[in-house]
Amino acid sequence: MKAVESSRHQESSCALIPLLARVSWWCNRRRQGGGVPIHCPQLTDTNYGMWPVKMKIILRSLRCWRAIEGKGEHDPAKDEDAFAALSQSVPDSMVMALTEHNNATEAWEGIRRMRVGEDRVKKKLV
């Protein structure tokens, strides 16, 4: 009985945890019983070349990559999980731009456009 109450307490308190912390909580809960803790890499001004590779690996391990690909059918909950992981891994200055997108696929593409556009501007200035 105590285990059920404890589980309910964790789930109900989950709603109180801010979105970014919920992703870490979810990843750790998902990996209970073994495995490697997952920490989403933070996108910076200089690491866009490696960031999408690492994020793809992480999202595949969380079984959320299909939501990013946008191919075939996928669980709407997985889309929300992928969107939350993306929001956790970008700078605060980009989070508001992500909220303009309707799903994880659009958010992924939006991040790519923002970073590729910034790289082009930087190259022209040099």
Question: Mind listing the pLDDT tens digit for each residue in 25-79?
Answer: 555 555 444 566 788 999 998 999 999 999 999 999 989 999 999 887 878 999 9
Residue 10 lies in a domain: no
Q: Are 47 and 41 in contact (CB under 8 A)?
A: yes
Residue 115 lies in a domain: yes
Is pLDDT of 10 > 90?
no
Residue 1 lies in a domain: no
Q: Determine the structural domain holding residue 52 and report its residue range.
A: 19-125
Residue 3 lies in a domain: no
For residues 106-124, average pLDDT: 76
Please give the structure tokens belonging to residue 22.
Answer: 């919920």
Distance, CA of 90 to CA of 99 (rounded, Å): 12
Q: Any idea what DSSP says for residue 46?
A: S
pTM: 0.67
Q: Any idea what DSSP says for residue 40?
A: P
Residue 27 lies in a domain: yes
Give the total number of structural domains in the chain: 1
Q: Which of 37, 38, 34 is nearest to 85 (CA)?
A: 38
Taking only Cα atoms into account, the Rg of the chain, rounded to an integer number of angstroms, comes to: 16
Identity of residue 61: S
Is pLDDT of 94 > 70?
yes
Distance, CA of 102 to CA of 109 (rounded, Å): 12
Is pLDDT of 14 > 50?
no
Residue 31 lies in a domain: yes
